[in-house]
C-alpha cells in the first residue's frame, strides 16, 4: 500500500505547528495501535460486533479501540495480543531500545533517556542475572 504524504494547510497546519511533540507521539502511537488491531480484525474476518462477542466486550469499547483515541492499559493490550496472537508491545524482547535521547536545555548537551540508562544497566547485569536464575 502506497502512502502519499500531504502538507497540512489552514487551521490544521496551525494546530500541527503548535502541538507539543510528546502529544504528537502519543497520538501517533494510539493511531498505530488502532491500525494494528483493525488489521488483525480484517485478517480474521471479524466485525466489531463479532470481536466484541468473542472478547466479552461491548461494541462501543471495540469502536473506541479502533478510533485511535483510546489510552490503552497494559492489561487491555495484553488481552488483545492474546486474542489475535499478535505483538502490540515489545516488552518481552531484549535488545530493543530505540531512542535518540533528549537535549538538556540548560547544558545544550544530549543525554540518554531513563529507558536507555536502565537498558544499558540491564545489559551490563544480564549475564549475572541469567546465572542467578539458572542457579535457582
pTM score, whole prediction: 0.58
C-beta separation of 66 from 55 below 8 A? no
Q: What is the pLDDT of residues 113-125, one digit of tens each?
A: 555 555 555 566 6
- For residue 41, what is its C-alpha cell? 480484525
Other CB atoms within a 10 A radius of the CB of residue 65 amount to: 25
Any idea where the domains of the chain sit in the sequence?
19-91, 94-136
- In the three-class reduction of DSSP (H, G, I as helix; E, B as strand; rest coil), residue 110 is classed as strand
Q: What is the pLDDT of residues 8-46, one digit of tens each?
A: 778 777 776 777 778 878 888 888 899 999 999 999 899
CATH class name, domain 19-91:
mainly alpha
109 phi and psi angles, rounded to 5 deg: -110, 150
List CB contacts of 80: < 8 A, sequence separation 6 or more.
37, 40, 55, 65, 86, 88
> Is residue 60 scored above 90 in pLDDT?
yes
Amino acid at each position: 500500500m502506497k502512502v502519499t504524504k500531504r502538507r497540512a494547510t489552514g487551521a490544521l497546519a496551525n494546530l500541527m505547528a503548535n502541538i507539543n511533540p510528546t502529544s504528537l507521539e502519543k497520538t501517533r502511537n494510539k493511531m498505530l495501535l488502532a491500525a494494528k488491531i483493525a488489521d488483525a480484525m480484517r485478517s480474521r474476518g471479524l466485525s466489531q460486533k463479532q470481536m466484541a462477542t468473542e472478547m466479552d466486550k461491548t461494541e462501543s469499547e471495540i469502536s473506541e479501540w479502533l478510533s485511535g483515541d483510546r489510552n490503552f492499559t497494559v492489561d487491555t493490550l495484553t488481552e488483545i495480543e492474546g486474542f489475535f496472537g499478535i505483538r502490540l508491545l515489545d516488552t518481552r524482547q531484549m535488545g530493543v531500545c530505540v531512542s535518540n535521547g533528549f537535549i538538556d536545555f540548560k547544558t545544550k548537551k544530549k543525554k540518554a533517556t531513563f529507558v536507555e540508562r536502565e537498558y544499558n544497566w540491564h545489559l551490563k547485569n544480564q549475564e549475572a542475572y541469567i546465572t542467578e536464575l539458572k542457579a535457582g
